[in-house]
Amino acid sequence: MESYVPEELAGANEAAVPDEASTDSAAVSASDIDVEIPLLQVRGLSQRFGPGCAYCAEPTIRGEESNRCPRCGSIWACRSLSFELYPGEILGVVGESGSGKSTMVKCLYFDEQASAGSMTVSSYENGSVNLFTRSAQQKRYIRNHVMGMVYQNPYLGLRMNFSSSGNIAEKLIAADHFHVGRIRERAADLLGKVEIPLSRMDEPPRNFSGGMQQRVQISKALANNPPLLLLDEVTTGLDLSVQAKVLDLIRSIQRELNVAMIVVSHDLGVIRMLANRTMVLRQGLIVEQGLTDQILEDPQHPYTQLLVHSLL
Ligand SMILES: Nc1ncnc2c1ncn2[C@@H]1O[C@H](COP(=O)(O)OP(=O)(O)OP(=O)(O)O)[C@@H](O)[C@H]1O
């Protein structure tokens, strides 16, 4: 596949930043970033649903058997998560249902306001600001210029009644691109990359199969050339053959565009196929993280051992 980006859109990440951030906070593409510096750094990310209390504020007392505080009933969906992601790397996040995977990704994409912690991205203000503390307007800017998101449910990521090219146009316009001809060229290029026939680019995604909708969602998420892509259970619910096609597509995009990705899945098979490094979540806590091969071949934590053995 040819990696063509129209000239005007190639500088997509260099648009000026409105409001309180200084204008030299321009985002840059993944290829401009030193590979030694993490693209994303997350420290102490917690998301608590409920009031919290002195008892559950103390993690050592709470233990890891449950994410629910026995005193105040608060749910700790994520608890003090710390990790980094390097440019072009794929980090897998695996864990059973309710382990906090989706909540973590929602916090990173600002769909939810994290209760605590920090997140920095090296391509935004040189990684010097905690993005969780930015204004709503700046968070919109970061979503539009630095990140892409692919949801398990394509209805969350796509406007089903817009045309597929219109969906991509929406993302480009949000990232300050207004040249109609170039937007259309970019939409055709992206839809071609994800193998949507160009004859169908003006059809709404509601006419498409689940696998096609996921592919349109992926092309929309890539429209602004983000250095960081978040993918939440993107193959869950698809037929096995369609799953394989979407996973192949994700791999080829990563190779071709060098986009860093966080791939969330409850399926270790998906993680094995895609992720360089893997983080295992249980009850909102990281129980193990490391190279995917190492985790699969020599899991240390009993929970990971259970997950890995269930795959065999
Ligand atoms: N808005 C909410 N209010 C209360 N609890 C919530 C809320 N959202 C999530 N939770 C709880 O947080 C925990 C983690 O949920 P989350 O959806 O992040 O898990 P998950 O690992 O993504 O699960 P799945 O694979 O089933 O989607 C669960 O116990 C869930 O019930």
Specify the pLDDT at position 8. Answer: 37
Hey, whose CA ends up nearest to atom 30 of ligand 1?
A: 98
Averaged pLDDT of the chain: 86
Q: 190: CA distance to ligand 1 center in Å?
A: 33
Ligand 1 pocket by Cβ (under 6 Å) = 49, 67, 75, 77, 95, 97-103, 266
Nearest CA to ligand 1 atom 24: 97
Main-chain phi, psi angles of 248, to 5 degrees? -60, -40
At 281, give phi and psi (nearest 5°): -105, 145
Which distant-in-sequence residues (6+ apart) come within 8 Å of 299 by Cβ? 288, 305, 307, 308
Q: Rounded to the nearest whole angstrom, what is the distance from the C-alpha of residue 202 to the centroid of ligand 1?
A: 36
Closest CA to 222 of 123, 145, 148, 146: 148
Give the model's pLDDT for residue 168. 96
Q: In testing the pocket of ligand 1, which one of 66, 75, 105, 271 has its CB within 8 Å of the most ligand atoms?
A: 75
Cα-flanking dihedrals φ and ψ of residue 288, to 5°?
-165, 140
Q: How far is the CA of 103 from the centre of ligand 1 (A)?
A: 6
Tokens in use for 135? 């204004």
pLDDT at 34: 52
d(CA 16, CA 13): 9
For atom 3 of ligand 1, the residue with the nearest CA is 49
**Among residues 98, 56, 96, which one has the least CA distance to residue 80?**
56
| Minimum-distance ligand 1 atom for the alpha carbon of 264 | 22
At 12, list the tokens: 């997509």
Q: If pLDDT is split at 50, 70 and 90, which confidence band does 3 have?
A: very low
Pick the range with the lowest mean pLDDT from 5-9, 55-59, 218-222, 263-267. 5-9
Could you tell me how far CA 141 lies from the centroid of its own chain? 16
Domains of the chain, each with CATH number or no CATH: 38-161+226-311 (3.40.50.300)
In the predicted model, is pLDDT for residue 63 greater than 70? no
- With a pLDDT cut of 70, the percent of the chain lying above it is 86
Average pLDDT over residues 103-121: 97
The residue whose CB lies within 8 Å of the most ligand 1 atoms, and thus the one to mutate among 65, 76, 96, 99, is 99
Instruction: Say if residue 6's pLDDT is above 70.
Output: no
Question: Quick one: average pLDDT of 98-108?
Answer: 96
Calpha distance 121→26 (Å, rounded): 12
The dihedral built from the CA positions of residue 187, 250, 113 and 26, taken in this order, carries a sign that is negative
In the predicted structure, residue 81 carries a pLDDT above the cut 70: yes
pLDDT at site 61: 52
- Is 60 exceeded by the pLDDT of residue 32? no
CA of 101 to the centre of ligand 1 (A): 8
Q: Which atom of ligand 1 is nearest to the CA of 266?
A: 25
| pLDDT of amino acid 65 | 58
Q: What percent of the chain is modeled with pLDDT above 90?
A: 65
Predicted ipTM of the assembly: 0.97
| Ligand 1 center from residue 232 Cα (angstroms) | 13
Q: How far is CA 69 from the centre of its chain?
A: 29
pTM for the model:
0.86
Q: pLDDT tens across 166-224, in order?
A: 999 999 999 888 888 899 999 999 999 888 999 999 999 999 999 999 999 999 999 98
> Atom of ligand 1 at shortest distance to CA of 106?
18
Q: For residues 246 and 151, which has the higher predicted lDDT (pLDDT)?
A: 151
DSSP 144-173: HHTEEEE-SSHHHHS-TTS-HHHHHHHHHH
Q: Please state the rounded mean pLDDT for residues 282-302.
A: 94
